[in-house]
Amino acid sequence: MRICFVGHQASKEGAGRFMLDQIDYLLQHDVTVFAIVPEWGPLCDELVQRRVEIAVVPNALWNIPGGLKARDYEEAVVASRGMAGLFRQWAIDVVYTETSVVIAGALGAALAALPHVWHLHEFSYNPRAIEMALPRDTLARLMDLTSNFVFFNSKAVAREWDGLLPESKTRVVYNWTSFPADEGSAPGNGHVRSLFKETTFVATIVGSIVPFKRQMDAIRAVGCLVREGVDIGLLVVGPPLHEPYYNSLVKLVDENGWRAIVRFAGYTENARQLMRESDVTLVCSDSESFGRVTIESMAQGTPVIGADFGGTSEIIADGVDGLLFPPGDVACLTQRLRSLIEEPNLRLHLSRGATETAKRFCDAEAVMAPVVELLQGLRGKSNPSWPLASFIESGLSTFGAPDAIVSRTSMRHMARGLVKRVIRRIW
C-alpha cells in the first residue's frame, strides 16, 4: 500500500508529531509512505531520516480572518493540481490529509480519483484559536463530498461535527505516546533542578506560546503563590510563535521581578524529560482538542493540572489521575497548585493514577491496527466526489495537463470562475 500524507505545516508540533508516529508504525508494516508539506522545516528533516519521499507544495490555510479572497481559491487550485500530478506519479493508493485547515489535499485526491481520509486535530470553529473561513456546514459538505473517512483526534472534536457528517464515515482516532524504557522511573539529567533551588516545587507548562495556550494564567497563578511566600518555580517550554503575546508574558515577569521564578526555555526536543523532572505539568489551554502534552506528562508519572475543556477533560479524571480547573480561572488554578504543594500524598496518588491512565494511550497497535484495516479496504476504490471532480478536471484540461504550469492570469480567471462556483454550489 502507498499512502501520501498532506500536512499544513513543517514544524514538529501537534499534527506533525502525530504524523511521524503514524509513519513510524506504517513503515514497520510494509507501507510505502510519501508526504507533502507547504514548506521545508524540522518535520522534513525527520521525514528524510525515515527515507520518506517529500514534496513541498505551497498551499493556503483556509482559516483566514475576514473570509476568502480570490488568491486563496487560486492557490488552492494550483496546489490541488500539483498534488494530483504527484499522486499519479507516485502511484498513491490513499491520500491522507492530517488537518482541517487545508483543502488542497482533498481536492487533489478528488482530481486524481483517489480515496481520501481527512483527519482533524483541531477545533475548527473557535474564535480564540482556529476558525475556518468557510461556514461549518459548507466545510462539512466538502469533507463528506471529498472523503471516504473523516477521523477525529478526540470525542470532543467529533462533537463539533455532530449531525453534519455520516456516522458511517467518522471515527475517533486518538494520539498515543510511549513510556520511557523503564516505565517512567528513569532519572533525568537534572536540567530543571539546575534552574531552581533544590527545594523548589516546579511546575512546567509545555506548548507553543500563543494566546489560546494561556501561559499567562500559569504565570499569574504561580505569582499568587510567590506573594504568599510559597517556594515555587515555573518553567515555560515552547517556541514564541505569537510575539505580542510572548512580549506580554515577559513584561509581566519583569514588572514583578520574577525572572528567577519564571524561566522561559524556548523550544526543546526533550520536553518529556523536563516534565519528568517537574512536580506537576500545567495545561491551561482553553482550546485543546486532544492533549498530547497531557498524556506525555502522565506517562512520565508527572500529574497534570488541566483546564476542564475539550480533550484535556476527556483524559483527566479529576482527583484520580490529575486535577481540573475551569478554563481561565486563575484563583482555582492557584488553589489546585497549593493543594499539591501542601499534600505530598495527593501528589503521589495522582502520580500513580496518571501512570495507569497513560497506559491507555500508549498502545500504537490498538490505535493503528483498525486504521490500517480501513486504509487497506480503500485500495482500488475511488473518491466519493469523482463524478464532480471529473467535471472539474475537464474544465481544467483547457489550461493544460493536470500538473502543467498555468499563467497567473489564466489561473486567477479559472479560480474565480469554475472552482469558486463549485465551492459555492456546495455552500
pLDDT at position 68: 72
pLDDT at position 66: 62
Please name the residues in contact with 376: beta carbons below 8 A apart, sequence gap of 6 or more: 1
CB 146 within 8 A of CB 107: yes
Got the DSSP string for 329-344? -HHHHHHHHHHHHH-H
For 35-73, b where at least 16 C-beta lie within 10 A, e where not — what string?
bbbbeebebbebbeeeebeebebebbbbbeeeebeeebb
CA 42 to chain centre: 15
Nearest to 4 by CA among 71, 104, 73: 104
pLDDT at position 422: 52
Q: Which residue has the cell 480570490?
A: 70
Say how far apart CA 173 and CA 175 lie, in whole Å: 7
Coil/strand/helix, residue 150: strand
pLDDT at position 419: 53
Query: If you classify domain 2-176+364-426 with CATH, what class do you get?
Result: alpha beta
Residues shown for the chain: 427
Residue 53 phi, psi (nearest 5): -75, 130
* pLDDT mean by block of 10 residues, the chain; 427 residues: 93 84 94 95 93 92 73 83 94 95 91 94 83 87 93 93 94 82 49 86 95 96 96 95 95 96 90 93 92 92 95 94 96 97 95 93 91 95 74 53 46 50 51
CATH superfamily of the 191-361 domain: Glycogen Phosphorylase B; (3.40.50.2000)
In the chain, domain spans = 2-176+364-426, 191-361
- Which three cell numbers mark 203? 511546575
pLDDT at position 60: 79
Say how far apart CA 218 and CA 318 lie, in whole Å: 19
Q: Do 2-176+364-426 and 191-361 agree at the fold level? A: yes
Say how far apart CA 328 and CA 139 lie, in whole Å: 30
Q: Which residue has the cell 500524507?
A: 5
CB 213 within 8 A of CB 242: no
